[in-house]
Amino acid sequence: MNQNISIADRTKALAIRIVKACTFLNEKPGVCRTLSNQLLRSGTSIGANVREAQSSQSDKDFLSKLEIALKEERETEYWLEILIEAELVDKTKFDSLLQETREVGKILVTSTRKIKDKINKLN
């Protein structure tokens, strides 16, 4: 993915991919539908929290929203790993989605560290 894209745009694109993956999963019977619901909630929440952070009232508020986005990213990563490792989905089809989720996580980790450093320097 293009490295110049904003985190808000990147997480929105990820959410769209998650929605499409969940649409595919919902066509399958049984456990896939249950996991799809979990994946849909966490995977779309990442971008929603990043977007909410853009309207934060302080650095601490901004950090809080990004940390929630990071938690949601980790949950999304977990559900994708479960789907792949339980062989409920074709690994080749879901690997790129898992990789993008992990890349977003790395960006969020870096961002939260920078904000924490900024807050600590002000205190």
Q: What is the pLDDT of residues 87-104, one digit of tens each?
A: 999 999 999 999 999 999
Tokens of residue 18, six digits: 């998650």
Instruction: Report the alpha-carbon angle 14-19-24, nearest 5.
Output: 125
pLDDT at 3: 61
pLDDT at 122: 85
Q: What is the pLDDT of residues 43-101, one digit of tens each?
A: 999 999 999 999 999 999 999 999 999 999 999 999 999 999 999 999 999 999 999 99
Dihedral sign of CA atoms 100, 116, 39, 41 in order: negative
DSSP state of 1: -
Q: Tell me the pTM.
A: 0.92
